[in-house]
Structure formats: structure tokens, C-alpha cells
């Protein structure tokens, strides 16, 4: 049997080829010298979803349409111009039809769990589940990279450490004193605790350690990702895509941070994808608690039902400021108020709308600008100018106008945004001088 622990690209290409030729897991395992359960786990772990139709048929995963039992007509604008055309043939009826029922092929519930070797694949209009070697290899490399970054620390462990360390630090005790007298509770080295504090994981900060703030910071210290694998379980980008497939009407809000000077104040941006509206909140440091405080404040300022309607799904990157998803998802009573997901590592294009909108912020606040010199009122003024700027993709309407039409002006007033007349909009550093 092959003693190599991990599958490589050549092995994955062989798996894909043999699956296309309708080989069983046992047959593939003999070719690779692996156990058949290894092949089964590999295939199920790296399934690629593809929404493609068949020859002469558009994608449609409705049960009645797939079984040719649907005879509804003129549900959508595209079909309303035809007298005899059935709606299921265009594939656009699923979002507007009240009789829609998702159909999953029963063959996918048993090995090989994918459509690679299916003889009906070219005539099937359902969503395909495929095993692709290139996609599987890319996912494997990404998981391997993420497993070597971040902190191996669960949210429960972090809270236990914080409850011991932060109060004592704020009482003036040194971290060395705390680690010596609470070694049995902490089970972490003094150096590790310093790392957690410098990364903003605890409520206590470096400023609570009088000697530390006088020390010169070390040079070239790379900041590791804090969103580790344990926190991404059920929240990675594949889960995000599956969630949207099950809830196609869910609105997505993209989160990101805009830095000024290194280690200084930053902005938290929340981008409403469909409306093009973006909010910006000034934070004095780039830590997770400041992000949690902003969402808690929005939850109090808006009614509970309004908050849940405005922020149903959040998509963030892997920055340390988004390292405590449970505190953002749940309110003080433990009730769910939103659902949070993460992009893949180094894949900012997965929230491209938010990134593109940052270009307008950079017109006013160029890179390297010290954001600490501005107030939240000035940031709100900047976002009012940006959100009043007309966009071609919005039908030459501004994000402010589109959002006001859908949600009303009262919410925009809560966000401290106002509409700026078209001729008075300034998108240059002169705005905040």
C-alpha cells in the first residue's frame, strides 16, 4: 500500500479520470494503493457544484419540471410573450413560482456521490455534483495553508483565559506575575499570553502594562491570521455558497477594514451589495472587540426586526478583527441575529463589491493617511458624499436613493447619512480639510 500520507495532484487527476470511466471506489483504491475509504472521503470533501442545463434545456432543479409534470405558463416576463411556452423551459421560474420544490437526484445519496460517470449527465438539467482534480487540489492547498496560520484557540478557551488575565492586568499586575500564580488555570506560556494581548484577543490591552508601552516595538513582526480552522467550520466560503443556494433571497453584507497608518486607527466598512450602499465606522485599533461593539450598538439603535432584516448574512475576510463570529452572530441573550461566513484565504475577489467601493474612500483618504485625526462625524460626511454619487449599474441612481426606496429614510438617518446634491459632491481629500 502507498505509504504517502497526502494525495497529490497526479493522484487526484487519476481519481477524476477513473470516476469519469465509472470505476468504483475499490477499483480506484487498488490503482492508487490506498484504502477505499480514503478515496470516498476525498471525493465527498471536494465536491464541485455546477449549475448547468442539458442539450436544449436550461438549468432547472424543480421536481415538477424535471419530471415533466409542470404545465404553468407566463410566470416571468420572458415567458409572457409566448402563448405556448412552458415556464420551466427557460429556467427562470424557480424564484417566482410558489409551487417550486427542489429535486435532488437519488443517485447522489450512494457511491460515488458525484455525477462524473453518470450516463444521463448530458441530458440532466439538475445541479451537477462533480469531482474535479484541479478544484480539489486548490482546496487541499488552501486548507493546508490555513492550518499553519492563526491561533489554535477556541472561543470558549479564549473567554476562560480572558476572564483570568484581563482583570488582573487592569489591577496593575504584570503578566509574569499572573502566569506564575495562575499557571494551572492558564496552561499557556508567558510569551503566548503576550502574543494574545498584542493581537487584541483580550479585553486588556498593551496600554494596561505600563512597562510594555515604553518599549520599542519589534521590527518585521508578521501578523498571523486569527480566524483558524475551528472557527471557520460551518462558516467557510463553500458553506456560504450552499447557504445562498438554500436561501436565494438572503441579502449579503460584506465586511472589511480600511487601514490608515500601520497600527493606527482603522475603518470598519459594511457594504450592502444589492443597493451599493456602504457604511464606515471609525475604530481606534484593529481588534475584534471594536467590531463586536459596533454591531451591538447597531442592534440597540435599530429595532431587533430591522437589524435582522438589514443584516441577514455577513461575509468577511480572515482578518483578526473578525475572529469572534459568535459574538457578532448572537445577542446578549444568545439569540441569533445574523449569520457570518468567511472568504477563502487570499481571495478578496469573493467580496469584490466591497473592495471596489474602497477605491472611492481612497480618493478622499489616500493610503498612509492617519485616520485617528478624523472624527466619526467627518467619516459620516465622507460616506454621505460617496453614497450620493450616481452609479451606472444602479440605473444612474445613487446608493442613497436605492436604499431609501427599499428601506426608508429613517434608517439612513440612524446611519447618520444624508443626501448630497449632485453638484456639491466632493470625492477628493479637500472634503475633510
pLDDT tens-place values along the chain, 433 residues long: 455 678 999 999 999 999 999 999 999 999 999 999 999 999 999 999 888 888 777 888 888 777 777 777 766 656 665 666 777 677 677 666 777 788 888 888 888 999 998 988 888 888 889 999 999 999 888 877 766 666 667 777 888 898 999 999 888 888 888 888 888 888 888 888 888 888 778 888 877 877 765 666 665 544 444 555 566 778 888 899 999 888 888 899 999 999 888 778 899 999 999 999 999 999 988 888 889 999 999 999 998 889 999 999 999 988 878 888 888 998 888 889 999 999 887 777 888 888 888 888 998 998 888 898 999 999 999 999 999 999 888 888 999 999 999 999 999 999 999 999 988 998 888 888 8
List, in sequence order, the alpha helices (H) in 182-337: 183-186, 190-198, 229-232, 237-246, 288-301, 304-310, 325-329
Answer for the pair 307, 297: CB distance below 8 angstroms, yes or no: no
209, containing H or E segment:
none
Superfamily of segment(s) 237-424: Ribonuclease H-like superfamily/Ribonuclease H (3.30.420.10)
State how far the Cα of 430 lies from the Cα of 403, in Å rounded to an integer.
Answer: 27
Residue-wise pLDDT tens digits, 334-382: 889 999 999 887 777 888 888 888 888 998 998 888 898 999 999 999 9
Instruction: Mark residue 182 as left, alpha or beta (left: phi above 0; alpha: psi -120 to 50; beta: remaining).
Output: alpha
State how far the Cα of 54 lies from the Cα of 57, in Å rounded to an integer.
Answer: 5
pLDDT of residue 78: 61
Rounded (10°) CA dihedral 199, 201, 203, 204 = -40
Answer for the pair 228, 157: CB distance below 8 angstroms, yes or no: no
State how far the Cα of 273 lies from the Cα of 384, in Å rounded to an integer.
Answer: 17
pLDDT of residue 213: 59
Query: Among 85, 34, 4, 1, which Cα is nearest to 14's?
Result: 34
CATH 3.30.420.10 location in the chain: 237-424
Q: What is the pTM of this model?
A: 0.56
| Helix (H/G/I), strand (E/B), else coil: 321 | helix
DSSP 250: -
pLDDT of residue 325: 87
Answer for the pair 130, 47: CB distance below 8 angstroms, yes or no: yes
Residue 315's φ and ψ, nearest 5 degrees, are -125, 120
pLDDT of residue 367: 86
List, in sequence order, the alpha helices (H) in 83-154: 133-147
Query: Among 314, 244, 241, which Cα is nearest to 47's?
Result: 241
Amino acid at each position: 500500500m502507498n505509504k504517502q500520507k497526502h494525495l497529490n495532484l497526479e493522484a487526484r487527476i487519476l481519481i477524476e479520470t477513473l470516476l469519469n470511466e465509472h470505476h468504483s471506489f475499490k477499483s480506484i483504491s487498488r490503482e492508487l494503493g490506498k484504502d477505499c475509504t480514503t478515496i470516498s472521503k476525498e471525493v465527498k470533501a471536494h465536491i464541485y457544484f455546477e449549475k448547468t442545463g442539458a442539450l436544449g434545456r436550461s438549468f432547472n432543479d424543480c421536481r415538477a419540471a424535471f419530471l415533466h409534470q409542470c404545465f404553468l405558463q407566463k410566470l416571468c416576463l420572458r415567458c409572457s410573450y409566448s402563448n405556448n411556452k412552458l415556464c420551466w423551459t427557460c429556467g427562470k421560474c424557480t424564484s417566482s413560482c410558489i409551487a417550486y420544490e427542489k429535486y435532488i437526484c437519488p443517485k447522489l445519496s450512494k457511491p460515488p456521490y458525484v455525477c462524473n460517470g453518470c450516463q444521463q449527465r448530458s441530458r440532466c438539467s439538475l445541479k451537477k455534483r462533480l469531482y474535479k482534480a484541479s478544484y480539489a487540489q486548490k482546496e487541499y492547498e488552501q486548507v493546508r495553508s490555513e492550518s499553519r496560520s492563526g491561533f489554535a484557540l477556541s472561543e470558549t478557551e479564549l473567554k476562560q483565559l480572558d476572564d483570568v488575565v484581563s482583570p488582573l492586568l487592569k489591577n496593575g499586575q504584570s503578566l509574569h506575575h499572573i502566569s506564575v500564580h495562575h499557571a494551572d488555570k492558564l496552561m499557556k506560556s508567558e510569551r503566548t499570553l503576550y502574543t494574545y494581548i498584542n493581537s487584541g484577543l483580550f479585553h486588556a490591552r498593551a496600554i494596561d502594562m505600563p512597562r510594555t508601552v515604553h518599549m520599542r516595538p519589534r521590527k518585521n513582526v508578521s501578523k498571523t491570521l486569527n480566524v483558524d480552522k475551528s472557527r471557520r467550520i460551518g462558516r467557510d466560503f463553500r458553506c456560504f455558497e450552499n447557504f445562498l443556494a438554500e436561501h436565494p433571497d438572503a441579502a449579503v453584507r460584506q465586511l472589511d477594514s480600511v487601514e490608515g497608518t500601520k497600527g493606527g486607527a482603522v475603518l470598519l466598512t459594511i457594504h450592502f451589495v444589492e443597493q451599493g450602499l456602504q457604511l464606515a465606522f471609525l475604530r481606534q485599533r484593529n481588534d475584534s472587540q471594536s467590531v463586536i461593539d459596533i454591531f451591538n450598538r447597531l442592534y440597540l439603535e435599530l429595532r431587533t426586526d430591522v437589524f435582522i432584516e438589514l443584516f441577514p448574512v455577513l461575509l468577511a475576510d480572515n482578518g483578526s478583527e473578525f475572529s469572534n463570529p459568535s459574538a457578532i452572530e448572537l445577542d446578549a441573550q444568545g439569540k441569533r441575529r445574523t449569520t457570518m461566513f468567511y472568504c477563502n484565504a487570499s481571495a478578496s475577489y469573493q467580496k469584490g463589491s466591497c473592495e471596489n467601493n474602497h477605491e472611492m474612500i481612497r480618493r478622499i483618504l489616500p493610503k498612509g493617511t492617519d485616520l485617528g485625526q478624523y472624527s466619526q462625524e467627518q467619516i459620516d460626511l465622507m460616506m454621505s458624499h460617496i453614497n450620493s454619487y450616481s452609479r451606472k449599474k444602479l440605473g444612474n441612481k445613487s446608493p442613497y436613493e436605492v436604499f431609501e426606496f427599499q428601506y426608508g429614510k429613517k434608517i439612513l438617518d440612524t446611519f447618520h447619512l444624508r443626501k448630497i446634491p449632485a453638484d456639491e459632491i466632493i470625492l477628493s481629500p479637500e472634503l475633510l480639510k
